[in-house]
Amino acid sequence: MSDARELESVFEALLFVSGEPVPRERLLGLVDAADRTAAGAALARLEGRYRQRPHAGIFLEEVAGGLRLVTRPELHPYLRRFFDSGGGNRLSMAALETLAIIAYRQPITGPEIQELRGKSPAGVLRGLLEKRLIRISGRKEVVGRPFLYATTREFLMHFGLRDLDELPPLEEFEESFGGEASGLEERPAERLDERPEETSAEPSGTAGEEMAE
């Protein structure tokens, strides 16, 4: 396959049908070595074409280590209204609050989250694990060895972030969600320079074990 327009169309179609960001290396690896240079140029043209359409409903973005086609942010109120009319699968305020605490404080335990929120997070944690927005990254070496929670690649995809360094300042988060994450300002936010390799969400039995912490 060497036709430049065909390569461009192939990449666009693959990004359209993919449910998650696709790394450039994976896209370019789909063509023969002899076509790799042409493929790189075709992918660059595709990115340039979407950059030249500032008012289009769909654009190409780089997020979580790959490329994906997404809807333009300023159109989200209309999309939200459309999906809300059909039910939807939105995060509750309790889930958003818990997710924010984990994002800014990871790795963090269930008891530590409860101390900040003043409520048991067991049910919310189970839901976030099922949605694969958080993961169990290990156990804290204290009495009871509670689970440690951290965010996942799906979390980055859900919020359109390349990495955790793109998390907005805490003040902006509080403005967006009405100060619901009230416990976060009590200690400076911490991030890991090195994070454990991501694992899949634990089965429901493991999440249930958290309730006994």
Question: Other C-beta atoms within 10 Å of 156: how many?
Answer: 21
CB 47 within 8 A of CB 68: no
Q: What share of the chain is helix, strand, coil (3-state, %, to 5)?
A: 50, 10, 35
List of domains in the chain = 4-75 (1.10.10.10), 93-210 (1.10.10.10)
pLDDT in tens, 13-33: 999 888 789 999 999 988 888
pTM above 0.85, yes or no: no
Instruction: Please check whether residue 106 is in contact with residue 137, taking contact to mean a CB–CB distance below 8 angstroms.
Output: yes
Give the pLDDT confidence of 63-107 residue by residue, as tens digits: 888 998 888 888 878 777 766 654 445 678 888 889 989 999 999
C-alpha to C-alpha distance for 208 and 213, rounded to whole angstroms: 10
Residue 179 has pLDDT above 60, yes or no: no
Query: Of 161, 151, 111, 109, whose CA–CA distance to 131 is shortest?
Result: 151
